[in-house]
Amino acid sequence: MFLNVSNFVEGVDKAFVFIFAICVFLLVGITAVMLYFIYRYNKKRNPKATQIHGSTSLELIWTIVPLIIVLVMFAYGWTGWKPMKEKAPDDAMQITAIGRMWSFGFEYPNGKYTDSLYVPQGKPVELDLVSEDVVHSFYIPAFRLKQDMVPGSDKDRMWFIANSPGSYDIFCAEYCGLRHSYMYSSVVVMPPDEFEQWYADTAAVQPETAGETEMSADAVAGLNILKKNGCNACHSMDGTRLVGPSYKGLMGKTETVMENGEEKQVEIDRDYIVRAIYHPDEQIVKGYQAGQMQSYEGKISEKEIDQIIEYFKTLQ
Ligand SMILES: [Cu+2]
């Protein structure tokens, strides 16, 4: 529980342990006094109650002692929290952390992109927290760090120095819709030389595509675009219905869609896919909700859509 895996653990845990100890002390103390009073002043042992009217010294004690206690709590809390909000060291590695419904993604200065966060041990890392849709909250419990990702804000940042190699959980800590609970990832801390090697390996710039060797280069690129943009949080490849329809058997199929409140049959071709990705709310697939999928116009080019289509064709 108290492993110093980031530079902030000690400060936060000191405040926590102090507050927890005070709580335990009060719980035990108050319960003991209560039991003693029940025993000592019950009707048998103390038939005639004594009335007390005001006691300046008592008033002073139960005002000043708690005041001191909460001020000490504040002092511990403040000293643990303040360094998180200070500017990151100048040599901090800059990584962009992207949150979207419903996955995290990480972009490194050399263009590398991953689903899990990889960081070197012992070196400061600064995250620029970006949301592509709604408010998410980036939470690394083991590092004692949590910060909201607010769409449109460029001020959401977080920095840390990871001390021990290993893998630690990342959660979204702000309810952000249906599949919020699927929004988890991990931060992998590597010894510096191992990290350098991993980082320099730009052949792996794209997310891992294991076991998909029979696909054409375009189809693989298409799959990577889907992964990179978090499309698969809402769409499955195997026919399973998620928030959106599955990609399986999509190309060439006739789809029933709602356009301006009217039901229509359309054949799924390139134009349809482009419209679905750039203007998702123009034609809503029947049985699904509008307003779930955002427009990817400006984020995904038509050339990339062609690669996505190449990938869709492998799922017939
Ligand atoms: Cu979220």
Confidence of residue 157 (pLDDT cuts 50, 70, 90): very high
How many angstroms is it from 180 CA to the middle of ligand 1? Answer: 5
How many angstroms is it from 101 CA to the middle of ligand 1? Answer: 6
Q: Are residues 200 and 152 in the same domain?
A: yes
Distance from C-alpha of 235 to C-alpha of 280, rounded to nearest angstrom: 14
* Residue 258 confidence (pLDDT) above 70: yes
Q: Which pLDDT belongs to residue 68?
A: 96
Q: Are residues 255 and 229 in the same domain?
A: yes
Between 30-34, 146-150, 176-180, the lowest mean confidence (pLDDT) is in 176-180
Q: Are residues 46 and 102 in the same domain?
A: no
What are 102's strand-pairing partners? none
How many angstroms is it from 7 CA to the middle of ligand 1? Answer: 25
Q: Are residues 28 and 109 in the same domain?
A: no
Question: Looking at 204, 226, 259, which one is the last position of a domain?
Answer: 204
Average pLDDT, the chain: 89
Average pLDDT over residues 280-301: 89
How many angstroms is it from 131 CA to the middle of ligand 1? Answer: 9
Q: How many CA atoms lie within 13 A of 156 on its CB side?
A: 21
Residue 46 domain flag: yes
Q: Which pLDDT belongs to residue 204?
A: 52
How many angstroms is it from 300 CA to the middle of ligand 1? Answer: 22
Question: Looking at 204, 236, 260, which one is the last position of a domain?
Answer: 204
How many angstroms is it from 118 CA to the middle of ligand 1? Answer: 20
Return the structure tokens found at 243. 């928030």
Domain CATH number, residue 128: 2.60.40.420
Average pLDDT over residues 269-290: 91
Identify the DSSP state of 124: E
Q: Are residues 97 and 197 in the same domain?
A: yes
Q: Are residues 125 and 186 in the same domain?
A: yes
Residue 177 domain flag: yes
Whole-model pTM?
Answer: 0.70
Confidence of residue 1 (pLDDT cuts 50, 70, 90): low
Q: Are residues 230 and 165 in the same domain?
A: no
How many angstroms is it from 98 CA to the middle of ligand 1? Answer: 10
Question: Looking at 150, 169, 204, which one is the last position of a domain?
Answer: 204
Confidence of residue 54 (pLDDT cuts 50, 70, 90): confident
How many angstroms is it from 133 CA to the middle of ligand 1? Answer: 9
How many angstroms is it from 153 CA to the middle of ligand 1? Answer: 16
Residue 97 domain flag: yes
Average pLDDT over residues 100-127: 90
Q: Which domain covers residue 52, as residue numbers?
A: 9-85
How many angstroms is it from 151 CA to the middle of ligand 1? Answer: 12
How many angstroms is it from 243 CA to the middle of ligand 1? Answer: 15
Domain CATH number, residue 231: 1.10.760.10
* Residue 307 confidence (pLDDT) above 80: yes
SS3 259: strand
How many angstroms is it from 154 CA to the middle of ligand 1? Answer: 17
Q: Which pLDDT belongs to residue 210?
A: 47
Residue 198 domain flag: yes
Q: Are residues 140 and 166 in the same domain?
A: yes
Between 21-30, 132-141, 227-236, the lowest mean confidence (pLDDT) is in 227-236
Average pLDDT over residues 69-77: 95
Residue 197 domain flag: yes
What does the pLDDT look like over 228-239, one tens digit per residue?
A: 888 888 888 888
How many angstroms is it from 279 CA to the middle of ligand 1? Answer: 23
Residue 179 domain flag: yes
How many structural domains does the chain have?
A: 3
Peptide bond into 81 cis (omega under 30): no
Domain CATH number, residue 45: 1.10.287.90
How many angstroms is it from 171 CA to the middle of ligand 1? Answer: 8
Q: Which pLDDT belongs to residue 212?
A: 52
* Residue 211 confidence (pLDDT) above 80: no
How many angstroms is it from 175 CA to the middle of ligand 1? Answer: 6
Q: Are residues 175 and 272 in the same domain?
A: no
Residue 158 domain flag: yes
How many angstroms is it from 293 CA to the middle of ligand 1? Answer: 15
Strand order in the sheet with 136-140: 117-120, 184-190, 166-172, 136-140, 145-149
Residue 113 or 142, more confident: 142
Residue 3 domain flag: no
Average pLDDT over residues 37-48: 91
How many angstroms is it from 177 CA to the middle of ligand 1? Answer: 7
Average pLDDT over residues 294-310: 92
Give the burial string for 135-174 (b: 16+ CB within 10 Å, else e).
bbbbbbebbbbebbbbeeeeebbbbbbbbebeebebbbbb
How many angstroms is it from 266 CA to the middle of ligand 1? Answer: 34
